[in-house]
Structure 1
Amino acid sequence: MENLISIVIGAIFINNIVLTKFLGLCPFFGVSTKISNALSMGGAVTFVMTFSSIITWLVYDQLLIPFNIEYLRLVAFILVIATFVQLSETIIKNTAPKIHQSLGVYLPLITTNCAILGIVLINNIQQSYTLLSSTISGAATGAGFTLALLLMAGIRERLALANSPESLRGLPLAFIAAALLALAFQAFSGMSI
């Protein structure tokens, strides 16, 4: 149980996929303009990360390793991720068309989101997690991704109202805010669980 708690705390704060590993920056900057968009994207990414972690673990451990075809892992992992992205896009499109429209091109781009492929590779290759640990890691990493998006969206909503120099408005100020946010999360790296 202690190991699972350390996986959760580590994935959300210490090894945050966006703010310490710098993966998934495209949707991080593209969708973090409003809290509602950030929450929707975070939920979609968490869904895809969690279920992709489960299925890729099963594919890798029960299919690729026994048949000695581990070299197909990237193709298999991307296929699994693409399937869950299509599923989540269909669900959002049918249940919340306004959110689907506001997320725009960033929703289908979850397929190529390196954060999702990164966590799947970390779970299966680098950490060699069990199925339960891999599932917890995927869900916690999704929660960390959502936290980063929500923090950035809150900051950007406030910055949109601030009186800032013309040359810094928009993305330049977002880059500065993201750098400071990442620096704040680096403080967690000294923690040991």
Structure 2
Amino acid sequence: MTVPLAVTTPGAPGGLAAQLLIIFLAAALTDNILLTRFLGMCSFLAISRQMKTSLGLGVAVAFVTTVTAAINYLVHRYITAPLGVEFLDLIVFIVVIAAFVQILEMAVERFSPALYFALGIFLPLITVNCAILGVSLFMLNKQGYGLWQALVYGAGNGVGWLLAILLMAGIRQKLKEDKIPAGLRGAPITLIISGIIALGFIGFSGMVKF
């Protein structure tokens, strides 16, 4: 059985490379999984206080999103779809993500104890990060995707989530609590900042479509 690595869209300008670039840019910017669909907000708001921790979690989320999108594509195409059990996709995807995150957690704990300690409980909670699961589920609605498209779609969404949390962390580090009105400190100002960042990403709407 041959895995279709890529499916080019008829009439797409520039061929496969251009199509993959469009998919990546659209997933990262115009259809940002965090700022347009509000998936993965819990860890986004909780972790984005420090740039270093945000970078570590963002890279982990981007990596998991990329790899699990490709794995779940293969699972759907060659297991659940041929067997006519697509209704099990949700459960199977969760199991795949949980298993992969467990492997990642063990690797981080062994090779980067400082990052593992900084991320704390949020590293295992990547398992229930709805952004990662959402990417795999949204991918099923993309007609004509091959393995390369699925991989790039996952990478684009992961990089978009990483970019959003880095922007939030940078802004929150620059803010001084004593310059913020008492009634806006904490969650209120964080939500306001999130809204402003989301407006910035909305500015890309219409520029790239996929």
TM-score category, normalised to shorter length: over 0.9
SS of match in other structure, 1:54:
helix
Aligned to 2:48: 32
- Give the Cα–Cα distance (whole angstroms) in 2 for the partners of residues 69 and 3 of structure 1: 30
- Give the Cα–Cα distance (whole angstroms) in 1 for the partners of residues 112 and 183 of structure 2: 36
Aligned to 2:116: 100
Aligned to 2:195: 179
TM-score for both structures, normalised by structure 2: 0.87
- Structure 1 segments of 4 or more deviating over 6 A? none
- Give the Cα–Cα distance (whole angstroms) in 1 for the partners of residues 186 and 174 of structure 2: 12
Aligned to 1:109: 125
Structure 1 or 2: larger helix share?
1
Aligned to 2:4: none
- Give the Cα–Cα distance (whole angstroms) in 2 for the partners of residues 102 and 37 of structure 1: 6
TM-score for both structures, normalised by structure 1: 0.95
The letter for the 1-side match of 2:147 is L
**1:162 CA drift (Å):** 5.8
1:17-46 Cα offsets, whole Å, 9 max, x none, are 111111110111011111111110011111
The letter for the 2-side match of 1:82 is A
Aligned to 1:63: 79
- 1:52 to 2:52 alignment: no
Q: Check 1:13–1:162 CA distance in 2 against 1; reply closer, same or farther (3 A cut).
A: farther
Aligned length: 192
- Give the Cα–Cα distance (whole angstroms) in 2 for the partners of residues 161 and 97 of structure 1: 31
Could you tell me which runs of 5 or more consecutive residues in structure 2 were left unpaired when the two chains were aligned.
1-16
- 1:127 to 2:142 alignment: yes
CA contact (8 A) 1:47 1:88 kept: no
SS of match in other structure, 1:16:
coil
CA contact (8 A) 1:11 1:141 kept: yes
**1:68 CA drift (Å):** 1.2
Could you tell me which runs of 5 or more consecutive residues in structure 1 were left unpaired when the two chains were aligned.
none
Q: Check 1:73–1:21 CA distance in 2 against 1; reply closer, same or farther (3 A cut).
A: same
Kindly, what percent of the aligned residue pairs are identical? 42
Superposed CA RMSD in Å reads: 1.3
- Give the Cα–Cα distance (whole angstroms) in 1 for the partners of residues 47 and 34 of structure 2: 13
- 1:17 to 2:33 alignment: yes
